[in-house]
Every structure is written in structure tokens, then in C-alpha cells.
Structure 1
Amino acid sequence: MNRQASIKKLESEDFDICIIGAGASGAGCALDAALRGYKVALIDKKDFASETSSKSTKLIHGGVRYLEQAFKKLDFAQLKQVRHGLEERHLVLNNAPHLARPLALITPVGSWLEGLYFSIGLKMYDSFATHDSLPKSKWLKKTDVLKRIPTLNETKLHSAVLYYDGQLDDARYCLALVQSASESGAIVANYLKVDGFGKSEANKLKTVQVKDTQSGHQFSIKTKLVLNCTGPFSDKIRLLANPLLQERIRPSKGVHVVLPYETLNSEHAMLIPKTPDGRVVFAIPFEGAMMLGTTDTESDDITEEPKLNEADKQYLVDTLNPYLAKKIDISQLRAGFGGLRPLLSAETGKSTKSLLRDHEVEIDTVSGLVSLLGGKWTTYRLMAKDAIDQIDGIFENKNACLTATHILAGGMNYNFESYRILEKKYSLPADVCQHLVKKYGSRAENVCRLTTSDPELKERLDSGYPYIKAEIIYTVRTEMAVTPRDFLARRIRLEITDWDTTIRTLPIVADLMAVELNWTELQKQQHISDYISEIEKFISEADKILS
């Protein structure tokens, strides 16, 4: 994935489909369309998965809450959502085994009756997952629960129900979709902002006018059809194509805080069964830390990246603390992040937490714009299939969808134990090799090879983490990392788990990127300054919380 080569092709060639938005749904559509033989352009105004698709709870699931609501309210749309999620769960796990894996979740209960309630519910949840091999749920005794999560408050604990869902590294999973689309023929590029559209005499979209935000260069992409996959920003593209359309998206803000791993001290995650307002909150191990979230609140402002505020923090702390023997010391907060959910509009007055995370393919008959609206990570492939099926109809084609069994970049012939071979062959520490195999899959050796010509690239960015300098070079050359934040936040995920270490390692990252991308000293310092400003916005909000 060479960005400059991609931009030249985007500027000079004609495309069947131009997809705007390279998050999960856009990248999924690009892969599906490319596999069906379409000539595809995929662009994003920022980095791949820089918005909603890197800010999830990292779960691949049908949605336990949807199942509960389906039966409580006799809402069969919720039941359909659960079924779709669990049907897709095994495909998400199978198609990128290096980036997605089973996750055991504990649901603590305070009484025999509660245990029976959740046990029955999760048995029903199991029954919908007919295609995968994840272990089935079971009711655990108190002693077994405390062995699995030793930090729980045993005085209030009666027992727990154990069940399984999937966990993924969302940003890198999206990147694997982008890479796979590229390797299937799609032309992809990040940091291309859409400024407008060119239209035919019949008022149909025929070009997408873009600006390269890195160079300022402006050009048009010639295309037969435009597919809008911009999530919470979908209405902006829709109205740019046709100002007479009604807005469809109600953005909802979801925030996570990240605490030390020792908060749960377990590889098991926890579903918190009782929250002050009936939401679902998870405490999940991720990248050596413990992630707690999420909130669900209305968001009228989509121009600024969502950040933590006092109400968010207090809600999450109040939700988790009753289950812990030792209450959270929020001064140990390591990081946090917020994202926007692209919820479809519903009746006035209905809260966003009660809206269904379903999707819809909208075709504007005036401009010809196709928009993929709503949805969630677990069903990205199904969403993409529905969208490209509709586009097949527009083009009067009947192409088979091939994504169900398409192994993503890095997943082919993946074997976690291959880290032992890398450890011996390249004289790298075991934890470094394990990290490389989990992040790059069967392509991990491509990172290791860089260290043979420059042994300094074996050096860690920080002594407390397995990330090495070679990854910076590799991600710039092959994964289209353009800024330090692309690398630190989305290629290795350090930003979302440890703000202090992110700032500490930033100069090392910037120095190596500057050489690769031919930055001047002034440009390098500007990148450093811009990123520190972004991080400090999060930290200042956290400081307000602590005060």
C-alpha cells in the first residue's frame, strides 16, 4: 500500500465504485466489491479506522442486552440483531485468527435467583450460535469465580455465569480489511477529504472532489457510483450529494477508561449485570491493561473527537466499584478514549441507548448516492454484503459474495507458535515475537527481516512494552502510516492504553518517520506538537475528573 502511487491512480483512472469512509463498513465493502470484480476506490478523510471503528469495546458478539430486551419487550427486531451477530461472530474470528480470538466473560450474580435468570438467558444466547465452536455457558460456584477473577468483592458474590464471545483488535482488523481489499485490486488512500461532487446532466454523481490534507493537492476521482460509508458523518455526505435529503443519523457518544490490568487481574472479562440506568458495561483485559466501558449518551457535536468528562468517569466508576473488593483509585487512570455510534434515527424522545444497532442501505434516486447507515462491528461483513448486493442490482449484475471464507491479510497459515521460530532466527525476546505474531500474523517475519540490516531496529520503544522500532518502518512502508498518531494509536494501540508512555515514545517514532517520509525538521516538530496537543486534550479532561 503505497500512498503516492495510490493517489496517482485515483487521479488518473476511472472507477466503478468510489467508497467514502475506510472504517469497518467501508473497508468491508471495498473488499467485497473488489472480490466481485469491481474497480474500487476507497478513501478516508483521516486514517483508516480513525473514528468509530477504532473506538469500540473490542467485542465480537450478538449482544446479550439485545436478547434480554427482545424477550422483555417482545421486540423481534432485537432478536434478529442477536441472531445476525452470532451468525457473523464465527466468521470474524475465523477470517483473521491473529487479530480476533475467543474471550471468556464472567457475569457475577448476588443470589441464586439472579444466577438462574442469567444462566437461562445465556443458554438461550448459546442456542443462537449454531456455527461456531466456542465453549457453552455454565454456572460457576463462588470459589471458582474467585479463582478466575480474584479481585471481586466476595461478600456480595453468590456465584457467576461464564459465557464466551469474541475479542478483536478493531483498528488492526479494519487495516487488515483495507490491506486485503488493496491486494484484491482496490485502490486505497487515507487523508483524502471529500469537498464536493461533480454531477452529470441527469444530476447523478460522476466525480468525487477530494483534497489531500497532507499536501493540499486537490483532484477529482471519476466513478460510476459513490458509496457513503462514513458512519456518524453520513448525513454530511448525503446532504452534500442532495441537500433535500432528511438527516438520518443520531450520534451517540461511548467512552471507555483504561485502568491497570491488576484491577481485575484476570484474562477473563466481566459483564456487569446491574448498572444505574440499564446499560451494559464491560471490564475487559486488552493489551496489558483493563478497559472499562462503555457509556451511551446523546452527542450533538460530531466536529470534535469525543473525550471523557466527569459524568462519564463517575458513571463507570460507580458501575464497577460495587463488584470489587478494593475500590478503583481513579488516580491510576492510564488512558481513555471516546467514539461516536452511528445510530439510525427513531421516534422523538427515544434515548440512544434503546436504539437498535441495525443497518440500512439507502439509495438516493436523485443523486444516485448509495449510503450504508448504522450497524456495528460484529456485522460489518453482512452490512457490506447487503450494500454490494444492492449495487449489483444497480449495475444489473449477479455476483457471488466471497467474503465469508476470505482469510484477511496476515491470517493465512497463521500459527501463534511461530513466534518461537522468530525468537531463535532473529534473536528477539519472546514477548516481542509474541506481540509481532499477534499484530501482523503470518507477516510478522517481514517486520523481523528489517532488523537484519539495522540491528538498532530491534530496540524497544519503551522497556515496559514489546513494541520495537522496526514496526515504525514497516507500518510506514506497507501499512500507509502517515502520522505518529497513526502508528501509536492504531498500528500498535499504545495511545488507548497508556498516555504517559505514548508521549514518552513520541520523539522516537517521529524521528524514524521523518526519515522514511522525508520530513523537514520543522515538519517533524509540527507533528510532535500536534500530537501532544491532542493527547493533552484527553489528559486535561482526565485532570478535571481527578479534581
Structure 2
Amino acid sequence: MNREKNWERLRKETFDVCIIGAGASGAGAALDAALRGYRVALIDQGDFAGETSSRSTKLIHGGVRYLEQAIKKLDLAQLKQVRHGLAERRTVIRNAPHLAHPLAILTPVFSWVEGMYMTIGLTLYDFISGHDSFPKGRWLNKTQALDKSPRLTRQMHSAVLYYDGQFNDARYALALTHSADEAGAAVLNYVALTNFGHEGKRIKTATVQDQITGETIDVKAKVFLNCTGPYSDAVRLLANPTLDQRIRPSKGVHIVLPRETLDSEYAILIPKTEDGRVVFAIPFGDKVFVGTTDNDYADLKHEPVLEPSEVDYLLETLQPYLDKTPDRADVQAGFGGIRPLIVSSRADTKTLLRDHEVEHDDTSGLLSLLGGKWTTYRLMAQDAIDRVAELLKSSVRSTTETHYLVGGENYRFEDWQTLQKKYDLPADVCQHLMRTYGNRAEHVAELAQQNPTLAEKLTDSQPFIQAEVVYQVREEMAVTLRDVLARRWRLELSDWKLTAQLAPQVADLMATELGWNDAYRIEQIQGYQRLLASFTKQAGLTPERSVFA
């Protein structure tokens, strides 16, 4: 992905559709439209998946909570959502197998009755999923459950095992964006929409500013599609100030604990909490993510951060399910995201449907893709581009269901051994490269071969090598430290202290590639370290967890 070339395209071309917002739905829509042969522009005021789409629970699922509500309330809309989610679960994994895979999840229960209830529900969940490649769940006795997850509480009666999908959300969105670029779309990060140009009341252009250079241009397109998630109302009102607001933002946070917290490949589902939520404890890399919360959130100008009360809530929720409960000193990081829930008459955000809607404003002509969730991003994108096709008076069908994303085609994890033999890199590095870049892993290894210094790890505790930073700048449009450390790698999510320690090394590599002067390089390092320190302080974590300790 070449940022300068794509900026020139924005300046000169007239597009069939300009998509605003490069999270899951926007990147998915860009790929769908490009594969249909449309001329596509995709812009985001920050990095690709820089907001909500990189801060999920990392699950691809139909939603066991939605299934329970559908049965209890005879709610066909909830049941339809579960069915769509389970169908798309297969597609998400098939199209990027290096970034997504099945995940075993245990639900500890404390009585025979509770075990039977969960078994019936999860058997129905498996039935709705149809004949896919996921293993089927079953009811385990206490000994079997402890064998699979030895840190579970000895107070449990038994546990129910089922399977859903797990994925690397930020890199999945990046793969969508990269695939759209290779299909012909002009994709750019750090390009902010500042205004619309109207002819009468109809939108004809979008005024955008490059957040790196400050340059402003007008982008010309036949259709404009708003995919900005929780920020959708701001774009809608910019296009037509008379519209009503449609989004009710909800904040969800996760805490990050050491892998030893579970000491298992199996995740845990906590099916009921004091306030009716569902909480997961999920192994991810060398950590465990615990979340999520669900509360109204109105301060969209500020990034959602982990707060002390949220840390306490998640630790207290986890406590009955583990033999040894972690405490605040064990929390190594955390992250928050904002769900774009559609306004309805439902009383609170926990009961709002995560379904989507494609809205067409007849006055301005703006299309907005509202609501939704990660698992059904492809269906959301397909529905949105179907509406684009109607406006363009075109009838090209979507082909995204069977389109491999960048890195996914002919992927075999076992090929890490071939990579190791050919490039003489450590086994953990080769495995990491395969899981991160798929069939593009060799491109990173070739950089390390051309310059042996780039084959060096940044730290002994992680498999990251210097060549990755060079590749991410040249091929994945990384332009800030956070692009690398938070999204192309997921280190910021899992360890604030280590992220701060590695920032200077990453900055040195990026400075060489991007031509940063020394003052700008230092500004990048210190600004990022201050941000990480503020996360620690706002979460109320112990001084030992300070990024400067």
C-alpha cells in the first residue's frame, strides 16, 4: 500500500464510491466494492481499525447471550442474528486462516441443573451452526474440566465445553484494507473528513485533510458511504444537519492478565453476572484478556480508557470461577472500545441488538452503515454495497464470501518449518511470522536476509524482529509508533510497560524509513510513552506497573 500514490489518486480521480471510515465495515465495504469493479476510495481520520474494530473481545461468534434471549423472549430477530453470526463465522476463518481459528470455551457450572441448562442451550447453538468444521461441544465432569483448565475453581460441579472463533481483529481489518488496495481501491489512513461540498442539498465532494502533511483537497465521488461506527452521527449531521441522531454509544473494556491466570488453551465463559452481562476470559498470545463491560458512553471526543471501578468489576466477576484469583498487581494492561448500538426503545445498552442498518438520506444522498458487530462485517458490507449498486444503477453481485484476504490463500501454519530452514530464523519467530502475515511471511524474512541486522529480535521475551517494522512501513502503511505497537503488533493491548520500553527501538527503525528528523523521532517516543503512562494512572494500577518503572 503506497500512501503517496493513493493520495494522488484522491486528488485526481472521480470515484464511484468514497467510503469514510476504515474499520471492519468500511474496509469490508471497500473490498466488496473494488471486487465488483467499482472505483473506490477508502479514508480514515486515524489508522485502519484505529478505534472500535481493534478493541473487540477477539471472538467470532453467533452470540450465546443472543440465543438465550431469543429463546426466553421468543425473539426471532435475536435468533436471526445468531444464525447469521454462526454462518459468517465459517467465512471469516476460511478467508484469513492465519488470523482466525476455532477456540475452545469452557463454562463452569455449579449444579447438575445449571449444567443441563447450559448443555441444552449450547447443543442448540451447535445445531444452528450446521455442518461446519467446528468441533461439537459436550458436558464435562469436574475431573475432565480440570484436566483441560487446571486453574478453574474446585467448587464447580462440572463444565460445558463449546467452540467459537478467535481472531486478531486489527490485523484482520488491515488484511481487508490491504486486499481492497490490491483489488484497485485507493486506501489511506490519517485522512480526515472536514466538510462536504453540496450542490443544492446533495453531496458532490468531500473536503479531506491529510493529517500527516496538513494538505487539504476535495474528493469527488458519485456516492458517499459513512462507515464510522460510533461516530456515524457526526458524519450524518455534517451531510444534513436536520437528521436525528441514530447511535447510542456503549463502552466496553478488557483487562489483561498473565497467561498463567488460566494456564490453558481453553477460554472461560462466565454466563451470568450481577448486572446481566456475559464475561469472557480468553487466552491471546502470552496473555489472558478478560471482558467486557457494557455502559453508556457519551464522551466521543476522548478515547475510552480503563478505569479503577472497571478493573475491580472484572476481577470480582472472575473470582468465583478460578481457584486462585488474580489481583490488581497482576493487571498488565487494558483497553476500551465503543460499540455503535442503534437507538431503539430498549431500556439499556445490554439489551440492544447488535444488528445493522443501511440508511439512505434522500436529502443529501449520504449512505450510512449503522450498528452491527465484527462477526457479520461481510454481510454488513455486502448490504451497503448492494445499496451503492442500486444508486449507481449497476447489478454486479458480491464475491467476498469466497475471496481470500492478503496472506490467506494456500496458508499452512506448518510452513513455518520451511521458512526456518530457508532463512535460518528462530522457530518462535517463524511461527509468529506465519500467524501474523500468512503467506506473506517470506516477504518479511527476505528483508531480514538482505540485511542481517533486521533479523534481530527487539526483545528476548517476544518474537518480534526489526524487519517487521520495515515491512509494516513499506507495505502496510504504518506511519506512527502506535500503528506498529498497538495494531500491526498487539503489544500495547497486552503489556503497557514493555510497549514503552520498545518504543525507542521502533522509532529508530521508522525514522530511517520515513525520514523523521531527530526532534520528531523524540517527540513520537515521548508522546507515546506519556500516553501509556496516562493509561496506567487512569486505571489506578500499582506503581510497579508504571511504564517508567
TM-score by length of 1: 0.98
Shift of 1:157: 0.8
Q: Which residue of 1 aligns with 2:190?
A: 191
Counterparts of residues 532-543 of structure 1 (less than 5 Å): 532-543=529-540
Question: Which letter maps to 2:3?
Answer: R
Q: Which residue of 1 aligns with 2:130?
A: 130
| Equivalent position SS for 2:208 | strand
Superposed CA deviations along residues 68-88 of structure 1, whole A, max 9, x for unmatched, are 011111211111110110111
Separation in structure 1 between the aligned mates of residue 272 and residue 316 of structure 2, nearest angstrom: 11
| Equivalent position SS for 1:185 | coil
Question: Which letter maps to 2:249?
Answer: P
| Equivalent position SS for 1:300 | coil
Separation in structure 2 between the aligned mates of residue 45 and residue 107 of structure 1, nearest angstrom: 40
Separation in structure 2 between the aligned mates of residue 49 and residue 241 of structure 1, nearest angstrom: 23
Shift of 1:311: 1.8
User: Is 1:397 equivalent to 2:378 in the alignment?
Assistant: no
Superposed CA deviations along residues 386-430 of structure 1, whole A, max 9, x for unmatched, are 111111111121111100000000001101011001111111110
* Selected match of 1:340 from 338, 341, 365: 338
Superposed CA deviations along residues 222-243 of structure 1, whole A, max 9, x for unmatched, are 1111000000000000000000
| Equivalent position SS for 1:17 | strand
Counterparts of residues 458-537 of structure 1 (less than 5 Å): 458-537=455-534
Separation in structure 2 between the aligned mates of residue 469 and residue 56 of structure 1, nearest angstrom: 27
Q: Which residue of 2 aligns with 1:182?
A: 181
Superposed CA deviations along residues 200-235 of structure 1, whole A, max 9, x for unmatched, are 24x211111001111111111111110000000000
Question: Which letter maps to 1:404?
Answer: E
Separation in structure 2 between the aligned mates of residue 544 and residue 306 of structure 1, nearest angstrom: 16
Q: Is the 8 A contact 1:241 1:369 kept in 2?
A: yes
Q: Is the 8 A contact 1:309 1:545 kept in 2?
A: no
Q: Which residue of 1 aligns with 2:20?
A: 20
Q: Which residue of 2 aligns with 1:383?
A: 380
Q: Is the 8 A contact 1:281 1:292 kept in 2?
A: yes
Shift of 1:544: 5.5
Q: Is the 8 A contact 1:109 1:273 kept in 2?
A: no
Separation in structure 1 between the aligned mates of residue 392 and residue 455 of structure 2, nearest angstrom: 50
User: Is 1:372 equivalent to 2:369 in the alignment?
Assistant: yes
Question: Which letter maps to 1:36?
Answer: R
Q: Is the 8 A contact 2:331 2:541 kept in 1?
A: no
| Equivalent position SS for 2:428 | helix
Q: Is the 8 A contact 2:52 2:339 kept in 1?
A: yes
Q: Which residue of 2 aligns with 1:55?
A: 55
Separation in structure 2 between the aligned mates of residue 388 and residue 208 of structure 1, nearest angstrom: 19
| Equivalent position SS for 1:496 | helix
Question: Which letter maps to 1:407?
Answer: Y
Residues 78 and 359 (structure 1), Cα distance of their counterparts in 2 relative to 1, 3 Å cut: same
Residues 387 and 276 (structure 1), Cα distance of their counterparts in 2 relative to 1, 3 Å cut: same
Structure 2 gaps of 5+ residues are 545-549
Residues 131 and 92 (structure 1), Cα distance of their counterparts in 2 relative to 1, 3 Å cut: farther
Q: Which residue of 2 aligns with 1:258?
A: 256
Question: Which letter maps to 1:168?
Answer: F
Question: Which letter maps to 2:417?
Answer: R
| Equivalent position SS for 1:120 | helix
| Equivalent position SS for 2:217 | strand
Q: Which residue of 2 aligns with 1:224?
A: 222
Q: Is the 8 A contact 2:449 2:455 kept in 1?
A: no
Question: Which letter maps to 1:373?
Answer: L
Shift of 1:533: 2.1
| Equivalent position SS for 1:243 | coil
Shift of 1:123: 0.5
| Equivalent position SS for 1:495 | helix
Q: Is the 8 A contact 2:256 2:288 kept in 1?
A: yes
Q: Which residue of 2 aligns with 1:91?
A: 91
Separation in structure 2 between the aligned mates of residue 405 and residue 434 of structure 1, nearest angstrom: 26
Question: Which letter maps to 2:362?
Answer: T
Shift of 1:541: 1.5
Shift of 1:545: 7.7
Shift of 1:22: 0.2
Question: Which letter maps to 1:510?
Answer: A
Shift of 1:444: 0.1
Question: Which letter maps to 2:74?
Answer: L
Counterparts of residues 347-366 of structure 1 (less than 5 Å): 347=345, 350-366=347-363
Percent of aligned pairs with the same amino acid: 58
Superposed CA deviations along residues 151-176 of structure 1, whole A, max 9, x for unmatched, are 1111x211111000000000000000
Question: Which letter maps to 2:349?
Answer: T
Q: CA RMSD in A?
A: 1.1
Separation in structure 1 between the aligned mates of residue 534 and residue 75 of structure 2, nearest angstrom: 41
Separation in structure 2 between the aligned mates of residue 40 and residue 232 of structure 1, nearest angstrom: 23
Shift of 1:192: 0.3
Q: Which residue of 1 aligns with 2:244?
A: 246
Q: Is the 8 A contact 1:84 1:379 kept in 2?
A: yes
Shift of 1:257: 0.3
Question: Which letter maps to 2:501?
Answer: R
Separation in structure 2 between the aligned mates of residue 477 and residue 132 of structure 1, nearest angstrom: 38
* Selected match of 2:210 from 209, 212, 215: 212
Separation in structure 2 between the aligned mates of residue 324 and residue 546 of structure 1, nearest angstrom: 26
Separation in structure 2 between the aligned mates of residue 167 and residue 545 of structure 1, nearest angstrom: 30
Q: Which residue of 1 aligns with 2:110?
A: 110
Q: Is the 8 A contact 1:419 1:437 kept in 2?
A: yes
Q: Is the 8 A contact 1:67 1:125 kept in 2?
A: yes
| Equivalent position SS for 2:194 | strand
Q: Is the 8 A contact 1:62 1:83 kept in 2?
A: yes
Q: Which residue of 2 aligns with 1:267?
A: 265
Q: Which residue of 2 aligns with 1:315?
A: 313
Separation in structure 2 between the aligned mates of residue 151 and residue 404 of structure 1, nearest angstrom: 39
Separation in structure 2 between the aligned mates of residue 405 and residue 449 of structure 1, nearest angstrom: 29
Q: Which residue of 2 aligns with 1:141?
A: 141
Shift of 1:274: 2.5
Q: Which residue of 2 aligns with 1:411?
A: 408
Separation in structure 1 between the aligned mates of residue 6 and residue 481 of structure 2, nearest angstrom: 21
Question: Which letter maps to 2:151?
Answer: T
Q: Is the 8 A contact 2:308 2:540 kept in 1?
A: no
TM-score by length of 2: 0.98
Separation in structure 1 between the aligned mates of residue 313 and residue 223 of structure 2, nearest angstrom: 44
Q: Is the 8 A contact 1:361 1:370 kept in 2?
A: yes
| Equivalent position SS for 1:270 | strand
Q: Is the 8 A contact 1:331 1:546 kept in 2?
A: no
User: Is 1:444 equivalent to 2:441 in the alignment?
Assistant: yes
User: Is 1:77 equivalent to 2:85 in the alignment?
Assistant: no
Shift of 1:131: 4.7
Q: Is the 8 A contact 2:280 2:291 kept in 1?
A: yes
| Equivalent position SS for 1:482 | coil
Shift of 1:451: 1.0
Question: Which letter maps to 1:542?
Answer: A
Q: Which residue of 1 aligns with 2:296?
A: 298
Superposed CA deviations along residues 22-51 of structure 1, whole A, max 9, x for unmatched, are 000000000000111110000000000000
Shift of 1:351: 0.8
Structure 1 window deviating more from structure 2 (233-242 vs 390-399): it is: 390-399
Shift of 1:313: 1.0
Separation in structure 1 between the aligned mates of residue 330 and residue 115 of structure 2, nearest angstrom: 32
Shift of 1:341: 0.2
Q: Is the 8 A contact 1:149 1:264 kept in 2?
A: yes
Q: Is the 8 A contact 2:256 2:287 kept in 1?
A: yes
Shift of 1:329: 2.0
Separation in structure 2 between the aligned mates of residue 82 and residue 470 of structure 1, nearest angstrom: 41
Structure 1 window deviating more from structure 2 (122-131 vs 366-375): it is: 122-131
Separation in structure 1 between the aligned mates of residue 348 and residue 542 of structure 2, nearest angstrom: 25
| Equivalent position SS for 1:341 | strand
Question: Which letter maps to 1:187?
Answer: A
